[in-house]
Every structure is written in structure tokens, then in C-alpha cells.
């Protein structure tokens, strides 16, 4: 019945196969879907049990076996997107030849509606302050009981529509914080340039608050904020107020899909936009550039900054 429903939605049922070399076993999954990427693949391996879940529209295709032989902990996953093929390469612990992949476990080789799989979804988010500097308080807010997030809801997304449905009193699990930004990157800093796109603005909130409050050497802080439309600009009026209040801070908005009324800057990140933006307070000023946004934005930004001879130490990118 599930296969019938899927067929109506233009999907045919996935299948899998496996092959081996002396040192590895490769499980090949043919999803027959073109829009599969690495985010659609969840692999879980504990002791002998191996489970892979492939997210296809509202369904999950499951590979779930008790492996016939032991494997190493690390494995690799490759997706050939244009044909929807997934290869999971497992490393054998011993060089023996396997006669079978293993015993099938629950739901093995089946396609089931996603709501029945009980899968845990994990997505990263960046804590922000409750506002920009004007009301900035150190994060000792009420015994650290509060943590603020700015999260965009994607109606077709996997996780954010679920988050949007939460009611007061519901629970979500939150992990320990992770990240590589160090406060020492601010030491003796004179010019701070922030390049943010969409929700890539979130890491800039605490950076802005911290730098403007705690770095005496700071002369200039500039934010270039890229969005599709004016409505997408997060905290626009707070940013404008801050620029008015603190002469060290400037903000520029750049729209990629403006209406005809927009008379500000528009386009994607480009050499022309950057050359105008990255004016430092003096030739040898100590500078830090932070960049965050959709992956192609961040990658393009880093390339353009490197072309302008900024060193790796002068660029901090926020990535997954
Ligand atoms: P997804 O299911 O990931 O989908 C997102 C959008 O992409 C949807 O519109 C969907 O239809 C589309 N889509 C999905 N797959 C494809 C595909 N293969 N091809 C084309 N389109 C596709 N977000 C915030 O809002 N605030 C934050 O503070 C924040 N911090 C982050 C920090 C880090 C380190 C990282 C890496 C990301 C951060 N994000 C943040 C993004 C966040 O983790 C999620 O990616 C985001 O919330 C989308 O999740 P989702 O499951 O709802 O959507
Ligand atoms: P969006 O789709 O609204 O795009 C915002 C702007 O990004 C666009 O106006 C455009 O200027 C630029 N952009 C988008 N695609 C581009 C491309 N292909 N090339 C060049 N520029 C491009 O953005 P959104 O929906 O708010 O998404 C924000 C992204 O930021 C998400 O991918 C999220 O995962 C990422 N993010 C990362 C972190 C982190 O710490 N790594 C934190 C927050 C958000």
C-alpha cells in the first residue's frame, strides 16, 4: 500500500545490494529519487546491529541487519545525486569473506511512513541574546534559565515545522554547545567586518554585543546583511537604532530579490560589494571578518576574501 501511495507521488520503491573486497563491504541503495543528498541518509551502527534510514519524501527506506561479521567503527557514505544512488562503505575488522550481509532486523528492506519510524531529528541552532546592545545584559539572566534562539520556519522543512507546533510546557532536548570561535580572536581588534546572509545573522548577535561592549581597541564594526526581500531582514530596526547610537557601528542591507521600491544595494555577494565594504580604519589595522549564511554564500565569500589577500586567521566562517 505504501508503494502504491509512493507510486502515485511519482516514486518507485527503493532497493539495495551489497558487494565486498578483502577489506570492505559496500551497501548500495538505489533510491530511484533524484533529490537525495547526504542529509537524507541516517546511519546508525552499534555492536553487530547496523541501521541505515533514507528519507524519501514522507517515507523512510530502512536497511536494518545484524551484521554477519564485525566491522570497524568508522564508515563512509557517498551519494550519487543525479541517479539517487547511496553507497555506504563499511570496513571489515577481519579480512574474511562474508557469505551474507547479516540477519534482517525490524523493518529491514522496507519503506514505511516517516511518522512510524520514531527517528530522532537533530539540527544545529545558534543561541542569540534577547536583543541588540541597547538592552544588552550579560547572560546571567535569571540564573541562566533562559536561552534565546532565532529560528526560521521552513514550511517544507523536516524539523522547523515540528518546532513550530510546540506548545508551552513541551520539551526539546538540547545538546552541549559546540563551535570553534574563540574570544581571543578579538584581542587588540580594530576593525570587525560581519558578512551575514539570512539566518546566518544569528552568530553575529553575540559577536556584536560582545565586541562593542568589551573590546577597547575596536574602532569600526560593519555588518553587511544579505537577504532576499526587505521582509526577511531580521531585527532591522534594532540594527538601525544601534548604528544611530554607536558611531563605531554601520549596517548595510543587500537584497537579492528586492521589489522595485528598494533603492538600496542589491545582488549576491560580489567583488564590487566587498571592495566598497571592506574599508579598514588604517592600512595595518588588526581586522577580523566573520561570515555566515547558506553554504554557497559562505564559500563564495571566503574565496573573494582570500582573493583580496585576507589571511585565514583574519577570516572566521561559521559552518556546520
Ligand atoms: P530542511 O528539511 O533542512 O529544509 C530546509 C529547506 O530546504 C526547506 O525549504 C526544504 O524544502 C528545502 N530543502 C531540503 N532539502 C532540499 C534539497 N535536497 N533540495 C532543495 N531544497 C531542499 N537556522 C536558524 O533558523 N537559526 C539558527 O540560529 C541556525 N543556526 C545554525 C547553526 C549551524 C552551525 C548550522 C549548520 C545551521 C544553523 N541553522 C540555523 C539552520 C538549521 O540547522 C536548519 O538547517 C534549518 O532550521 C532547516 O531545518 P529543517 O529541518 O526545518 O529544514
Ligand atoms: P535565504 O535563502 O533567505 O538567503 C539569504 C541570502 O543568502 C540571499 O539573499 C543571498 O544573498 C544569499 N544566498 C543564498 N543562496 C546563495 C547562493 N547560492 N550564492 C550566493 N549567495 C546566496 O537564507 P536562509 O533561508 O535564511 O538560510 C540561511 C542559511 O544559513 C541556512 O543554510 C543555515 O543553515 C545557515 N546558517 C548557518 C549557521 C552556522 O553557524 N553555520 C548559523 C545560522 C544559519
Would residue 210 count as lying in a domain? yes
Residues paired with 76 in a beta bridge: 89
The segment with the largest mean pLDDT, out of 112-121, 127-136, 240-249, is 240-249
From the centroid of its chain, how far is CA 290? 16
Q: Residue 43: inside a domain, yes or no?
A: yes
Full domain range(s) for residue 219: 183-317
Q: Do 313 and 188 share a structural domain?
A: yes
The residue whose CA is least distant from atom 1 of ligand 1 is 157
% residues pLDDT > 90 (the chain) = 71
What does the pLDDT read at residue 42? 87
- Give the model's confidence band at 33: pLDDT under 50 very low, under 70 low, under 90 confident, else very high: confident
Please give the pLDDT value at position 1: 54
Distance 276 CA to ligand 1 centre (A): 31
- Report how far residue 306's alpha carbon sits from residue 294's, in angstroms, rounded to the nearest whole number: 18
**Predicted interface score ipTM higher than 0.95:** yes
For residue 126, being part of any structural domain is answered with no
Last residue of a domain, one of 85, 101, 116: 116
CATH assignment of the domain containing 31: 2.60.40.790
Number of domains in the chain: 2
In whole angstroms, what is the distance from residue 75 CA to residue 54 CA?
Answer: 16
**Domain contains 134:** no
pLDDT tens-place string over residues 212-243:
999 999 999 999 999 999 999 999 999 999 99
Of 178, 198, 254, 291, the residue with max ligand 2 atoms within 8 A of its CB, to mutate for a pocket test, comes to 198
Domain-embedded: residue 124: no
Alpha-carbon gap, residue 86 to 291, rounded angstroms: 32
The 3-state secondary structure of the chain, one letter per residue: CHHHHHHHCCCCCCEEEEEECCCEEEEEEECCCCCCCHHHEEEEEECCEEEEEEEECCEEEEEEEEECCCEEEEEEEEEECCCCEEEEEEEECCCCCCCCCEEECCCCCEEEEHHHCCCCCCCCCCEECCCCHHHCCCCCHHHHCCCEECCCCCCCCCCHHHHHCCCCCCCCCCCCCCCCCCHHHHCCCCEEEEEEEHHHHHHHHHHHHHHHHHCCCCCEEEEEEEECCHHHCCCHHHHHHHHHHCCCEEEEEEECCCCCCCCCEECCCCHHHHHHHCCCCCCCCCEEEEEECCHHHHHHHHHHHHHCCCCHHHEEECCC
Residues ≥6 apart with Cβ < 8 Å to 51: 43, 44, 45, 62, 63, 64, 105
Residue 286 CB contacts under 8 Å (≥ 6 apart), including other chains: 188, 189, 190, 191, 217
Average pLDDT for residues 204-216, to the nearest whole number?
94
Confidence of residue 135 (pLDDT cuts 50, 70, 90): low
Whole-number pLDDT of residue 34: 82
Examine the pLDDT at 294 and tell me if it is beyond 80.
yes
293 Cα to the center of ligand 2, angstroms: 4
224 CA to centre of ligand 2 in angstroms = 13
The domain that contains 272 carries what CATH number? 3.40.50.80
In a domain, 136, yes or no: no
Mean confidence (pLDDT) of the chain: 90
Predicted confidence band of residue 142 (pLDDT cuts 50, 70, 90):
low
d(CA 247, CA 251): 11
The reported pTM is 0.74
Say if residue 92 is in the same domain as residue 187. no
**Cβ neighbours of residue 83 closer than 8 Å, sequence gap 6 or more:** 30, 34
Average pLDDT over residues 40-63: 89
Higher-scoring residue by pLDDT: 113, 119: 113
Is the pLDDT confidence value at 138 over 60? no
> What length is written for the chain?
320
Residue 264 within a domain: yes
Domain closes at, from 86, 116, 146: 116
Out of 134-148, 162-176, 262-276, give the one with best mean pLDDT: 262-276
> Ligand 2 centroid vs 201 CA: distance in angstroms?
9
> Residue 37: nearest ligand to its CA?
1
Q: Is residue 244 part of a domain?
A: yes
Band of residue 120 on the pLDDT scale cut at 50, 70, 90: confident
- Give yes or no for residue 162 CB within 6 A of ligand 1: no
Indicate whether 136 pLDDT > 60.
Answer: no
Q: Please indicate, yes or no, whether residues 302 and 202 belong to a single structural domain of this protein.
A: yes
| Mean per-residue pLDDT, 263-273 | 97
Whose alpha carbon is nearest atom 41 of ligand 2? Answer: 319
Please say if the pLDDT value at position 133 is more than 80: no
Give the Cα separation of 111 and 13 in Å (integer): 7
Amino acid at each position: 500500500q505504501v508503494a502504491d501511495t509512493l507510486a502515485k507521488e511519482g516514486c518507485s520503491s527503493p532497493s539495495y545490494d551489497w558487494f565486498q573486497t578483502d577489506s570492505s563491504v559496500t551497501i548500495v541503495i538505489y533510491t530511484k529519487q533524484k533529490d537525495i543528498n547526504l542529509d537524507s541518509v541516517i546511519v546508525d551502527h552499534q555492536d553487530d546491529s547496523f541501521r541505515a534510514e533514507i528519507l524519501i519524501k514522507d517515507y523512510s527506506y530502512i536497511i536494518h541487519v545484524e551484521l554477519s561479521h564485525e566491522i570497524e567503527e568508522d564508515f563512509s557514505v557517498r551519494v550519487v545525486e543525479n541517479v539517487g544512488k547511496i553507497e555506504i562503505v563499511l570496513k571489515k575488522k577481519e579480512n574474511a569473506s562474508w557469505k551474507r550481509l547479516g540477519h534482517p532486523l525490524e523493518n529491514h528492506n522496507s519503506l514505511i511512513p516517516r511518522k512510524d519510524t520514531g527517528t530522532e531529528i537533530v539540527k544545529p541552532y545558534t543561541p542569540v541574546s534577547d536583543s541588540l546592545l541597547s538592552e544588552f545584559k550579560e547572560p546571567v539572566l535569571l540564573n541562566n534559565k533562559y536561552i534565546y534562539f532565532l529560528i526560521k520556519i521552513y514550511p517544507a522543512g523536516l524539523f522547523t515545522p515540528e518546532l513550530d507546533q510546540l506548545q508551552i510546557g513541551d520539551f526539546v532536548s538540547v545538546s552541549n554547545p559546540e563551535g570553534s570561535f574563540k574570544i581571543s580572536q578579538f584581542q587588540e581588534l580594530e576593525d570587525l567586518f560581519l558578512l551575514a546572509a539570512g539566518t546566518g545573522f544569528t552568530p553575529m548577535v553575540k559577536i556584536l554585543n560582545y565586541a562593542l561592549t568589551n573590546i577597547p581597541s575596536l574602532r569600526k564594526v560593519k555588518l553587511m546583511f544579505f537577504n532576499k526581500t526587505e521582509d526577511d531582514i531580521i531585527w532591522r530596526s534594532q540594527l538601525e537604532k544601534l548604528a544611530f547610537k554607536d558611531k563605531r557601528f554601520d549596517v548595510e542591507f543587500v537584497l537579492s530579490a528586492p521589489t522595485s521600491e528598494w533603492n538600496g544595494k542589491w545582488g549576491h555577494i560580489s567583488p564590487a560589494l566587498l571592495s566598497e565594504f571592506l574599508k579598514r580604519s588604517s592600512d595595518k589595522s588588526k581586522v577580523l571578518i566573520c561570515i555566515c549564511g547558506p553554504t554557497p554564500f559562505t564559500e563564495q565569500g571566503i574565496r573573494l576574501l582570500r582573493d583580496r589577500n585576507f589571511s585565514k586567521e583574519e577570516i572566521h566562517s561559521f559552518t556546520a
